[in-house]
Structure 1
Amino acid sequence: MKRCQTFTLIFLTLIFVIFLFISPSFDNVLFRVNEFTIILANHLPKIASVGQTNSVMSAQATPENTVNVRRPHPTTEPGIMFLQSSSELNPSPLVMCSIESAAKLNPNKPVYFFMNAFNGSVSMYREPEYKGIALLSSLKNVIILSLSPEELFSNTPLAGWYEKVDPSKERHWLHVLADGCRLALLWKYGGIYLDTDIISLKPLKFQNFLCEQSSNYANNAALGFNRSHSFVKMCLKDFVDKYNGAAWGHQGPTLMTRMLKKWCGTDNLNDFLNKDCKGIVFLSSNWFYPVPYPNWGRYFQKNKWNKNNDTIENEFSKTNGVHIWNYMIGHRKVEIKGSRSIIEYFFSEYCPSTYKSIPLQKEKPEKK
């Protein structure tokens, strides 16, 4: 086994040397060096310890093995990507459910979770203080990575913008930052991006797509694109050229809408629902936004879930993922476990580990 793994490393080294010679430019050479570094990160743990799992995605910290080798960023293998632009290190149950559901339904795809405050070592974040990180890192295809906007935006149109922008003067900074990060992630690595309030209900296939939020209007909570796609490049340029941080969604859903209209050469995106437009599919709202944001509270209405009734399952049978509209929830306290709500059904069915970790709220005694 050890001899076979050593041979694999030698073979990869030879391939790398060949790539160097056929690279036409210095930039391409740097790219190949970076790719080879990632490949080594994937294989060195296996060579160092023959008894460890062969899964590339399972290099997790455990009590027996606290040495944790992680990719510095995704490889060119497309994955499902989530990000948290705030400094929060304790993901909410909704964030955990979104990531777990995607990982569970797509076991052969890497699921990346970028955290702005994460230092890059899972072994540093243990229970009970970091219960969320511990749970997510235990899932074999979930990879938690540090989010460095400066590094991510390098060699993109967002680099100059990020250097000049003053977050303290930005009204919607965390949202704007997240809008930029998802575009840069798709541009550099490709794959599928999902907001951390989208609970997956079905496996996802890789394709170039946007999704309708409402009539003639797109959203950016669920996106899929090949690496270096020209549509994403258009969006990155427009993000900077027409930047307006004071207008909610201007760098997000509104940008997606105006860029898709430009791409398709139309003012009426409804004509392209569930159709291919120059290599991009514009999915109808039922794919990710089956409940519009003004009705977000419907997910949390109590006593809507009967365990002996398949009404909820039938209603969302054509939905790939439900966007819960976390922004609309704000600071409201919402009950999940024990509420018999639609959201409790989703948690129990699609993210059972997260659901199990949620304590059951005790009912307050009635005042006499």
Structure 2
Amino acid sequence: MLKQLRILIIVLFIATVIFFTRNTIKQKGMYILFSLIHKSVIFHSLGAENATSYKINNTYNYEYVFIMEIFQQGNGILFVETTDRMDEPSLVLCSIESAARVYPDRPVVFFMKGVGDIITEDDEKKARDRYPTLSTYKNIYFLPLRLEELFAETPFLAWYETINPKREIYWTHVKSDACRFALMWKYGGIYMDTDVISIRPIPEKNFLAAETFTNTSSAVFGLSPHHNMTWEFMENFVQNYRGEVWGHQGPGVFTRVVSKHCGVPQFTSKDHIKCANVLYFHPERFYPILYPSWKKYFEVWKNLPTFNNSYALHLWNFMNKEGKSMLVGSNTLVEHLYKQYCPSTYEGILNKTHA
């Protein structure tokens, strides 16, 4: 007991030093201090598989400590951008802002392939300042997405090292599917696609969601770090890989695993049901408007829906081949959603319109 107490005191002391150092030291060269942190502390904080994917004694020291702070409670809200795009459309910004507003006490983290290394606090600030409408939310963070490091110590690494992206039809989407599983395995929390607008907090920690009564959603799910079901998702992804089939690596993975454990879940009400020790949400929770009717978001409604049974709304951006977007003054449903759930994003569009 005494030995454990000593270890706890040491860990708390190091955490305190990290906190105050991070907030007082800003010169790049001074961040070498973080390399003095013993690897065992990092291993116990987030797990060995995360520590091995970062350069502990090199340029990523600050970034790793930064990540350690963000994800220490395993309750992050995770978004991902697998292309080099940095000029994000308004729907992406709205999704992130709405999550930051609905979950003010939880970190909202956008992993982006186009973001460079976060070596100093200034790097962190520059990443944040790219998006003025989001910069006032202190719980929003932007982090680089490095696939080999993310896939390390998961079933994905061997698959990723042998795949030929040039032969893949849906490579951007398949990468995104893999990333959400790996991020959930390593960090836990809630994953959301960037076309999901949050409207109220999801009250459960470990959950999956029905997209329809026969298919499971891949756009929103939540699990604890290192949850056994996440590992099963990754294994199913690799073992049944068919990248040429749309949705096979996303909703298909979820649906196959859920079917294995629970068959086709049967809802008798809008309440959730249990499946393999996680909660399984009714389609109404995230899909009150199903994909054949996706255009309804961009239409004018005589009576606006309340969405009282929903936690978030999936806007089916993949279906939006026409490039429909929120237009100021259109009085469409999506404009009302922007006004209510991502007002800073809406105001930014409004200012550009009148500039």
TM-score between the two structures when normalised by the length of structure 2: 0.78
1: CA distance, partners of 2:17 / 2:230: 29
Question: What are the within-5 Å matches in structure 2 for residues 286-305 of structure 1?
Answer: 286-301=284-299, 303-304=300-301
The AA in structure 2 aligned to 1:322 is: L
When residues 361 and 136 of structure 1 are mapped into structure 2, their CA distance, relative to the original with a 3 A threshold, is closer
Pairing partner for 1:166 from 164, 182, 195 = 164
The AA in structure 1 aligned to 2:71 is: T
**Partner of residue 312, structure 1:** 304
The AA in structure 1 aligned to 2:99 is: A
Q: Secondary structure at the match of 1:223?
A: strand
Q: How far off its partner does 1:47 sit?
A: 4.9
1: CA distance, partners of 2:154 / 2:245: 23
Q: For the aligned residues, what is the CA RMSD?
A: 2.7
Q: How far off its partner does 1:279 sit?
A: 1.5
Q: What percent of counterpart residues are identical? A: 34
Equivalenced residues, count:
303
Q: Which runs of 5+ in 2 are unaligned?
A: 1-5, 27-61
**Partner of residue 86, structure 1:** 83
**Partner of residue 71, structure 2:** 75
2: CA distance, partners of 1:275 / 1:237: 25
2: CA distance, partners of 1:362 / 1:277: 48
Q: Secondary structure at the match of 1:281?
A: strand
When residues 199 and 262 of structure 1 are mapped into structure 2, their CA distance, relative to the original with a 3 A threshold, is same
Question: What are the within-5 Å matches in structure 2 for residues 1-368 of structure 1?
Answer: 14-15=10-11, 42-48=19-25, 71-72=66-67, 74-77=70-73, 78-119=75-116, 120=118, 121-124=123-126, 130=130, 133-264=131-262, 266=263, 268-270=264-266, 274-301=272-299, 303-304=300-301, 311-314=303-306, 316-359=307-350
Q: How far off its partner does 1:206 sit?
A: 4.3
When residues 100 and 247 of structure 1 are mapped into structure 2, their CA distance, relative to the original with a 3 A threshold, is same
The AA in structure 1 aligned to 2:72 is: T
1: CA distance, partners of 2:146 / 2:128: 22
TM-score between the two structures when normalised by the length of structure 1: 0.76
2: CA distance, partners of 1:96 / 1:164: 34
When residues 41 and 148 of structure 1 are mapped into structure 2, their CA distance, relative to the original with a 3 A threshold, is farther
1: CA distance, partners of 2:10 / 2:292: 57
**Retained in 1: the 8 A contact 2:134–2:344?**
no
Q: Secondary structure at the match of 1:134?
A: coil
2: CA distance, partners of 1:289 / 1:42: 41
Q: Which runs of 5+ in 1 are unaligned?
A: 1-9, 18-35, 50-68, 306-310, 364-368
1: CA distance, partners of 2:330 / 2:340: 15
**Partner of residue 62, structure 1:** none
**Retained in 2: the 8 A contact 1:137–1:144?**
no
Residue-by-residue CA offset, 1:184-205 (whole Å, 9 max, x unaligned): 0111111000000000010233
The AA in structure 2 aligned to 1:270 is: Q
